Each structure stands twice: as structure tokens, then as C-alpha cells.
Amino acid sequence: MLPVGYYIALSAILFTLGALGVLIRRNSIVIFMSIELMLNAGNLAFVAFARAYQSLSGQIFVFFIMAVAAAEVAVGLALIVAIFQTKRSIDVDQLNTMQG
């Protein structure tokens, strides 16, 4: 079995990729996918640690995160569809109606 450090390193890489994706990409859906990547990096870290500690609570947490992520998808995609209907674009750089 691989040592837990490898899994954590992978999850850290995934988390960083997700965070960079949110900051760099301009398409709302891609940003949202990057956020999901961050959540799943958290899931991977949880599962790896839970395995290392032989602890169930870490694995249970993953279920909660997946359920919450599903709820976020429901709301997030609805919002993206709504803004596409109004603006015909989901580019976050064009979300600039309000300025001060």
C-alpha cells in the first residue's frame, strides 16, 4: 500500500489546480467545475486520512461533502441558466453591470 503522503500530495495538487482554475478561467461552468475539483481534493484527503487512521468518521464526511456538492450544483446550474437567458453569456468578465 502506498504511504498516505502520496495521496495527500495528489490531493494538494488537485486542490491547487482547482483554485487556479477558479482564478484563471472565465467561463462560469468551468469555474464551477474547478470548484468541484477543490471539493473532491478535500474528499481524497479525507478518504486517505480515514484509511490511515482506520477511522470511519472521515469517510462519513465525504458523503456529506458529496451531498452538499449536489445541492450546490442544483442551485449553481440554475443560476447560470438564468443569467444565460438574460445576458446570452456566462463569461464572468461580462458580469460588470454594477460598478462603483
Partner 1 sequence: MNVQDLYAISPLIVLVTWATLLILVDVYIIRDRNGGTPILAALGLLVAMGFAIAQTGQQYTAFNGMAVVDGFAIFLQVLFLGSGLVGIALAYNYLQRMGIERSEYYILLLYSISGMMLMAIAADLIVVFLALELLSIPLYVLAGFGRPKVEPEEAALKYFLLGAFAGGFVVYGIALAFGATATTSLAGIVQAVNAGSANLTLLSIGAALILIGLGFKVAAVPFHMWTPDVYQGAPSAVTAFMSVGAKAGGFAALLRVFVSALPELAADLSPVLWVLAALTMILGNVVAIAQGNIKRLLAYSSIAHAGYILMALVVFGNTQVSSDAVAAALFYLVAYAVTSFGAWAVVIALEKAEQKGLALDDYAGLGRKYPGLAAAMAVFMLSFTGVPPTLGFVGKLYLFRTVLEGGFIWLAVIGVLTSLVSAYYYLRIVVIMYMRDGDPQVHAEPWLRLTAGVTAVATVVLSLYAGPLFAWASQAVLKLF
Q: Give the residues lining the site for partner 1 (CB under 8 A).
A: 8, 11, 15, 18-19, 22, 28, 31-32, 35, 38-39, 41-43, 45-46, 48-50, 53, 55, 57-58, 60-61, 64-65, 68, 71-72, 75-76, 79-80, 82-83, 85-87, 92, 95, 97-98, 100
User: How many alpha carbons fall within 13 Å on the CB side of residue 32?
Assistant: 18
Taking the complex as a whole, the smallest distance from the CB of residue 6 to partner 1 amounts, in Å, to 13
Taking the complex as a whole, the smallest distance from the CB of residue 52 to partner 1 amounts, in Å, to 8
User: How many alpha carbons fall within 13 Å on the CB side of residue 17?
Assistant: 14
**CB of 92 closer than 8 Å to CB of 31:** yes
User: How many alpha carbons fall within 13 Å on the CB side of residue 95?
Assistant: 10
E-assigned strands of 1-100?
Answer: none
Q: Which is nearer to partner 1, 6 or 53 (CB)?
A: 53
Taking the complex as a whole, the smallest distance from the CB of residue 13 to partner 1 amounts, in Å, to 12
